A and B are shown apart, each in its own frame.
Chain A
């Protein structure tokens, strides 16, 4: 990261991609969105050529999904399956593809296998919650936030020992602590253990921790592509989706190798939606808006830190300056 296309973001929107009344996804349209997006990013005429810029047949590829809001919002299985099909099309054997997430119960709740090409692996780091066995004991970020005894956050073992490339598939969500949860947070908190300690209290440590984790090797160099699933979205009380009124349907996918530029666009999107709903900005830090009852869109558990995206840019992970971000918009 930020890969070969710093500052470049492709947004593909299709009104028919998901039916907001039934929540049903149009799989064929999603395939077309995936093809249009990757080609627009690379400039290639053929989808296979575009994918081949990132993935080789010998790669072992992880598709990092986000299931923290499952079952209502998660990396859509139709999108994930479409990505896996493209990987197979460029010659990656299905057995060399891993759809992975940290928590097994969340991952299983989605039911990815029935959508995926036969042979694709679906794997969680924590078969039982808090188990450390799925993490690499030798690759960790060590820091103390509040005197916690366990000061290490370890990298998912699959990433350090097996995968050669990662396609990151975050959702389109507001996050109560981080402000948004997009590319960076799915790379960081989705690949390391013991991260919830960064947001135990109203004032969190998400501002710096997300970027620091995402910048850690080998995860930094293994994430080669981000495809942000915005068929569905959450504009408040994320990353979960317990309240239907806070869901919405952007009906889009975003593409890029620059997680910072993409997350900046996500901030803009969530801000726009919150403004339309009459909710306070993500940047609000007023204590009067802190509280337990976040069924009110103006009440939040934490002081949000959307500044984590700009912080990550200072670590060299991408371009934050809006004037330097080039957004291509495709309508299908």
Chain B
């Protein structure tokens, strides 16, 4: 049970017990509070409180999409502000977001996707309406986040802890190239990426997109466990094993717009599926197709976060 709790994001709340009505109205059932306020919150019914502490925790960027339509660039691909690589670099790290309103739901979705126990600090003057998006995603997660599965990856990445490696990992995450951090080439993977080698020189790492493209080319699209078609703002993560996998999908633009459909390709045959999509109760996968080497389906709407269980 402790492990399960450790893998879930939570609301960090500095407000006093006089703010309890706003929390209740929003649907918040659990909070973490500064130790000095714990006693008073313990006396409040309907809201479970634990002591939380942001000291020493790494503050994360607010996950979002910058479309940058007004800037000249070599690509029209929108810029995703993602913290995924930070979770992968430091899976036991302590993190927090400082965010309110709809973006707080994206923050929670991102943390859920990467299995990170990040705290989400919301300004204590926030009213029920501002808290509600977060409450909804936390409530959603409580229904789907049982029995955590191990992450799946298509290649290894040797992280030397450098900023350059961080930038490359960021680009890999954003382009749905699934990797596992390894200390050295691992026989489980046919491909291991290490910056500073002949294949991936440090000079190229100045443009992490170039490295990501090189990795993609060496891996080949056919061998990627997950492909997303139809939207450049969805980040995927896969957990599980060959017979049973769980696909996490986050819409980084979810604070402002839904994704009206993505086509997903998952390597392997999975005739059975179960979808849970936040804010879209009753939604079904469409055009489900099990092919000789992969399973494909359409998620017709992605508001913020969805979890799809696939099995044989």
Q: Which residues of A are at the interface with B, using a C-beta cutoff of 8 A?
A: 127-128, 130-133, 137-138, 147-152, 154, 194, 200-201
Q: Please determine whether A133 and B261 come into contact, CB atoms closer than 8 angstroms.
A: yes
- CB neighbours of B262 from chain A (8 A): 132
User: Are A150 and B260 in contact (CB-based, < 8 A)?
Assistant: no
A30, chain B: closest CB distance, angstroms: 37
Closest A residue to B75 by beta carbon equals A200
B230 contact set on A, CB distance < 8 A? 130, 132, 150, 194
Question: Is there contact, CB below 8 Å, between B289 and A138?
Answer: yes
The interface residues of chain A lying within 8 Å CB-to-CB of B229 are 132, 150-152
| Bound Cα distance A183, B228 (Å) | 32
* B 272-312 contacts with A by CB, 8 A: 287, 289, 296, 298, 300
Taking CB atoms and an 8 Å cut-off, the chain B residues in 14-52 that contact chain A are: none
A128 to B253 CA separation, bound complex (whole angstroms): 15
Q: Which of B75, B77, B175, B261 contacts A132 (CB 8 A)?
A: B261
Option from B75, B76, B260 in Cβ contact (under 8 Å) with A133: B260
Q: Which has the most chain B C-beta neighbours within 10 Å: A132, A148, A152?
A: A132
Minimum CB–CB distance from B215 to chain A (whole Å) comes to 11
Interface of A: prevailing SS: loop
**In whole angstroms, what is the CA distance A147 to B76 when docked?**
12
B232 on the A face (CB < 8 A): yes
Give Cα A147–Cα B144 distance, bound, in whole angstroms: 35
- Contact across chains for A128 and B176 when beta carbons are under 8 A apart: no
Q: Are A131 and B260 in contact (CB under 8 A)?
A: yes
Chain A residues positioned under 8 Å from B77 (CB to CB): 148-149
The CA of A130 and the CA of B298, in the complex, are separated in Å by 14
Using Cβ atoms and an 8 Å threshold, which residues of chain B touch A137?
263, 287, 289, 296, 298
Let me know if A151 and B287 touch, CB within 8 A. no
Nearest A residue to B212, CB-CB: A147
Residues of A contacting B231 with CB < 8 Å? 130, 150
Tell me whether B160 is interfacial, beta carbon within 8 Å. Answer: no
Q: How far is the CA of A13 from the CA of B230 in the complex (A)?
A: 43
Question: Please, which residues of chain A bring their CB within 8 A of the CB of B261?
Answer: 131-133
**Which residue of chain B lies nearest to A152 when distances are taken between CB atoms in the complex?**
B229
Q: Is B199 part of the binding interface, using a Cβ–Cβ cutoff of 8 Å? A: no
Q: With A130-B230, A133-B260 given, is the CB distance from A200 to B175 under 8 Å? A: no
What B residues does A194 contact at CB under 8 A?
Answer: 230
List the interface of chain B (C-beta within 8 A of A).
Answer: 74-77, 175-176, 213, 216, 221, 228-232, 260-263, 287, 289, 296, 298, 300
| Across-interface contacts of B260 in A (CB, < 8 A) | 127-128, 130-133
* Number of residue pairs spanning A and B whose beta carbons lie under 8 angstroms apart: 47
User: When A and B form their complex, which 4 residue pairs have the shortest distance between CB atoms, in order from nearest?
Assistant: A131-B260, A132-B230, A132-B261, A133-B261
Residue of chain B at shortest CB distance from A200: B76
Question: CA–CA, A201 to B216, complex, Å?
Answer: 22
A12 to B175, CA, bound (A): 52
Chain B residue numbers with a CB within 8 Å of A201 are 74
A133 touches B232 (CB 8 A): no
Closest to A131 in B: B260
- The answer on a CB contact under 8 Å between A149 and B263 is no
Contact A151 B221 (CB under 8 A): yes
In angstroms, how far is the closest chain B Cβ from the Cβ of A197?
A: 9
Q: Contacts A149-B175, A149-B176, A200-B76 hold; do A138 and B228 have CB atoms under 8 A apart?
A: no
In the bound complex, what is the Cα–Cα distance between A137 and B261 (angstroms)?
Answer: 11
Q: Chain B residues near A151: list those with CB within 8 A.
A: 221, 229
Cα distance, A152 to B262, chains bound together (Å): 12
Docked complex Cα distance between A137 and B262 (Å): 10
Docked pose: A128 CA to B230 CA in angstroms = 13
With A131-B260, A132-B261 in contact, is A150–B232 under 8 Å at CB? yes
Closest A residue by C-beta to B301: A133
Closest B residue to A126 by beta carbon equals B260
B-chain residues with CB within 8 Å of residue A133 when the two chains form the complex:
260-261, 298, 300
CA distance A148 to B296 in the complex (A): 20
Q: Are B263 and A132 in contact (CB under 8 A)?
A: yes
From B76, B261, B289, B300, residue with most partner A Cβ within 10 Å: B261
Q: What B residues does A148 contact at CB under 8 A? A: 77
B263 contact set on A, CB distance < 8 A: 132, 137, 152, 154
Chain B: which residue is nearest A196 at the CB level? B76
Instruction: Decide yes or no: A138 and B287 within 8 Å by CB, A147-B213, A200-B76 being known contacts.
Output: yes
Residues A149 and B287 in contact in the complex (CB < 8 Å), given A131-B261, A137-B263, A137-B296: no
- Min C-beta distance of A103 to chain B, whole Å: 13
Q: Which of A128, A132, A149 sits near B298, CB closer than 8 Å?
A: A132
Q: Determine how close the nearest CB of chain B comes to the CB of A300; give it in whole angstroms.
A: 17
CB closest residue in chain B, given A148: B77
